[in-house]
Amino acid sequence: MNILVVDDEELARKRIQSLLADKSGYNVCAEAENGAEALMMVERHQPDLILLDITMPVMDGLEVAKHLAGMPNPPAVIFTTAYGEYALEAFSTKATGYLMKPIRQEQLLKSLEQARSLNRAQRSEMLEKAEESTANRKHICARRRGNLELIPIEDVYYFQADQKYVTVRHKEGEVIIEESLKSLENDLSERFIRIHRNALVAKNRISGLSKSPIGRVKVTIDKIEDELEVSRRHVAEIRRFVRER
What does the pLDDT look like over 128-163, one tens digit per residue? 655 555 456 789 988 777 677 889 999 999 999 998
Tell me what pLDDT residue 230 has.
Answer: 97
CATH code for position 193: 2.40.50.1020
> Alpha-carbon dihedral of residues 137, 139, 141, 144, nearest 10 degrees?
170
Same domain, 122 and 16: yes
Q: Given phi > 0 = left and psi -120 to 50 = alpha, else beta, which region is 163?
A: left
In a shared domain, residues 123 and 184: no
Residue 170 included in any domain:
yes
Cα 191 to Cα 44: distance, rounded to the nearest angstrom: 33
pLDDT value of residue 239: 96
What tens digit of pLDDT does each residue of 75-124 get? 989 989 886 554 444 443 333 578 888 999 999 999 998 888 765 555 66
- Is residue 9 predicted with pLDDT exceeding 90? yes
Q: Which of 228, 226, 163, 165 is nearest to 193 (CA)?
A: 228
What is the pLDDT at residue 123? 60
Number of folded domains in the chain? 2
pLDDT in tens, 189-213: 999 999 999 999 999 999 999 999 9
CATH number, domain with residue 72? 3.40.50.2300
Shared domain for 69 and 176, answered yes or no, is no
Q: Residue 207 gets which letter from DSSP?
A: E
Q: What is the pLDDT of residue 89?
A: 40
172 and 219 in a single domain? The answer is: yes
Closest CA to 131 of 182, 66, 51: 66
- What percentage of residues in the chain have a pLDDT greater than 90? 60
On the question of pLDDT at 5 being above 70, the answer is: yes
pLDDT at 20 > cutoff 50: yes
Q: At 162, phi and psi to the nearest 5?
A: -140, 100
Q: Which domain holds residue 200?
A: 147-244
CB atoms closer than 10 angstroms to residue 106: 9
Half-sphere exposure (Cβ direction) of 65: Cα atoms closer than 13 Å: 33
Q: Are residues 86 and 161 in the same domain?
A: no
* pLDDT on residue 88: 45
The whole-number pLDDT of residue 7 equals 97
- pLDDT for the residue 147: 74
- Burial classification of residue 60, based on how many CB atoms lie within 10 Å of its CB (0-12 exposed, 13-18 middle, 19 or more buried): buried
Model confidence at 127, in pLDDT bands (50, 70, 90)?
Answer: low
- The greatest distance separating any two alpha carbons of the chain, rounded to the nearest whole angstrom, comes to 74
pLDDT surpassing 90 at residue 218? yes
The predicted pLDDT at position 108 comes to: 94
Strand-pair category, 199-202 with 192-196 = antiparallel
Which is more confident, 67 or 231? 231
75 in Cβ contact with 50 (< 8 Å): yes
CA distance 201 to 179: 16
CB 177, CB 142: distance < 8 Å: yes
